[in-house]
Chain A
Amino acid sequence: MLTVFLQFLFSGLTVGAVYALVGIGFNITYNATSIINLAQGEFVVIGGLMMWFFAESLKLPFLVSVAFTIISAGIVGLLMERLTIKPLKNPDLLLMIMITIAVSIVLRGILMFAFGKDPYVYPSFTEGEPLSIYGAIIQQQTLWVIGITGFCIILLFFFFKKTMVGKAMLACAVNPTAAKLVGINVSRMVMLSFVLSAVVGAIGGMAITPISLMEYDKGPMLAVKGFCAAIMGGLGTNRGAVIGGFIIGILESMTAGYIHSGLKDAVALIILLLILFFKPAGIFVSKAMHQLRKF
């Protein structure tokens, strides 16, 4: 009993970690621009597929591949912002969201053209025997996924709380006009937010691919789940996205294990509807805070 439960728990934590990263990606762009970037899932796919390209196809050393993957995801984020978001003058939010959807279709088209429709996989970051806790098997890659997610969260926390650039980005979110008045380059911060969210998504993709494989059309579902995670915790709060991501991941794997595997994807959505109907601000955002938001 316990063994099976733990096994489901660990697989839930693994996918939950990726949802959390996608959710954080949503938050980063949302905080700086109020845009919901629905191409967020594609960044994860880019992470997995580019890592395969550098490490397996070009046979580059591991750390070099990681660096190149992060750089290429960052460039995609940068190009997306400079080419599609920046040229628009006072657009409305709906249009922005539609544009991110259109960009996600473009990205999917490129990925399909470059990688085809097959799933890709590469070996775990470290080789070795899986761990066993009360009979439940934990692959080493699972620990990598959770560890990397934790590391990213801590890094982002320090970035937003302690560094000047991070604080400036938060300032843009609170009040862009005031931020401009005190000399913050708002346009650059918006660009940075896209780059950062692309990098965070790609890191999730790199880490999860050895476990769950990666193919060109995984993006939309990842985006929906990550978005559920972000909404659940309250859009804009990273702590909320992390907890939301893990809750959704764990409930999903429990549903798949104990009830029916086909219903796994419905769980996140049902939670989403319940949250929206009963506490639309999310679990960690007060009603007053929520009303201050444009969206």
Chain B
Amino acid sequence: MKKGDLLSFLIFILLIILLPVISGSTYTITVGIFSGINALVAIGLCILMGYAGQVSLGQAGFYGIGAYISSILSVHAGLPIVISVICAMIVAAVAAMILAVPALRLKGHYLAVATLGFGEIIYIILNEWGPGGPSGFGDIPHFGLLGYTIGSTTGYFYLIWGLVAVVMLFSINLINSGTGRALRAIHDSDMACNAMGLNVTALKIKVFILSAVYASLAGSLYAHYVTFISPSSFSLFYSILVLMMVIVGGITNLWGAVIGAVVITVLPELLRRFEELDVLVYGLILTLSLMFFRKGIVPILIEKIKKLREFAVAKH
């Protein structure tokens, strides 16, 4: 791990530990939990988009697979929750592989369209054949490990953000490894990578599967937290939301995905006061930030810090 990454990671851990301590309100911690769940999905999409240069509008599909498969397995088959979460991840990985093999041959934005189609098909399947149909089903057990159930909001907060930290650690290492360099090379030029002897397609498929597994994990965690799920949480709108998180945070930086997830999750909460106008204000903020801060929050901040530092050096 690089020095800068290590530092940001430590600050990140510190923030996670401190937030529930500083803010005692359950409401803030709950919003924090949803931010963390969304961050998991966003990190996966960020690796896929920012590093492998592929766009997916179907993350809601994998998120839904994670939520439904692990709920069904734990409610109807009585499997331990950890096992059902892992099973859901495997199902999502297989689905991603089946989709990726033909889809990743597609050029640029056609991939976005194919994944959009996939996500919507999953949505329709959940509506038609999911337990409870469009109205969903409840009584999903809370997440637990080795007989110990996590019931408290703060406990769940630490579980979710602990997992975000683990996923983040894994992803940072992945990006700084040889695989990460290969991925960035794919982003720049498919053809050059092929010429260098890299198996571009295999790498793309692997990253796509990774992003699906992250999304599935997030979906399972969501289901075992809210204990009630219905298809409407897994529609195209969610995929678009995740895409917004990655773009708003900054596509070229993994921390951007985390910060973008927090911003996009918190924003609607802040907009509650606009009541009927909330959708409108939300859309306006998105439009303006896409237009004027198109690099994303984190890269812009990094640039600012660099400039400040140069300024300080020049002064000496």
Contacts and interface: CB of A to CB of B under 8 A. Distances in A.
Nearest to A103: B287
Contact of B128 (A88, A113, A263): A263
B154 interface: no
A231 B106 CA distance: 13
B284 A106 contact: yes
B120 interface: yes
Interface stretch (A12-20, A90-98, A118-126): A90-98
Contacts of B110: 276, 280, 295
A102 B286 contact: yes
B279 A105 contact: yes
B128 A262 contact: yes
Nearest to B279: A109
A238 to B, nearest CB: 19
A276 B247 contact: no
Interface in A273-295: 273, 276-277, 280, 295
B63 to A, nearest CB: 18
Interface in B73-132: 102-103, 106-110, 112-114, 116-118, 120-121, 124-125, 127-128
Contact of A106 (B120, B124, B125, B287): B287
B113 A227 contact: yes
Contacts of A87: 291
B112 to A, nearest CB: 8
B69 interface: no
A107 B127 CA distance: 27
B263 interface: no
B interface secondary structure, majority = helix
Given A99-B287, A109-B277, A224 B121 contact: no
B290 interface: yes
Interface residues of B, number: 40
A263 to B, nearest CB: 7
A262 B118 contact: no
A101 B240 contact: yes
Given A113-B277, A266-B121, A102 B113 contact: no
A269 interface: yes
Interface string B280-316: 1111101100110010000000000000000000000
Contact of A105 (B118, B120, B282, B294): B282
In order of increasing CB-CB distance, the 6 nearest A-B pairs are: A109-B280, A105-B283, A106-B283, A109-B279, A102-B286, A102-B287
Interface of A: 36, 84, 87-88, 91, 93-95, 97-99, 101-110, 112-113, 220, 224, 227-228, 231, 260, 262-263, 265-266, 269-270, 272-273, 276-277, 280, 295
17 contacts: A84-B291, A102-B283, A102-B286, A105-B286, A105-B287, A106-B280, A106-B283, A106-B284, A107-B283, A109-B279, A109-B280, A220-B236, A272-B113, A272-B114, A273-B117, A273-B118, A276-B103
Interface of B: 55, 102-103, 106-110, 112-114, 116-118, 120-121, 124-125, 127-128, 236-237, 240, 243-244, 247, 276-284, 286-287, 290-291, 294
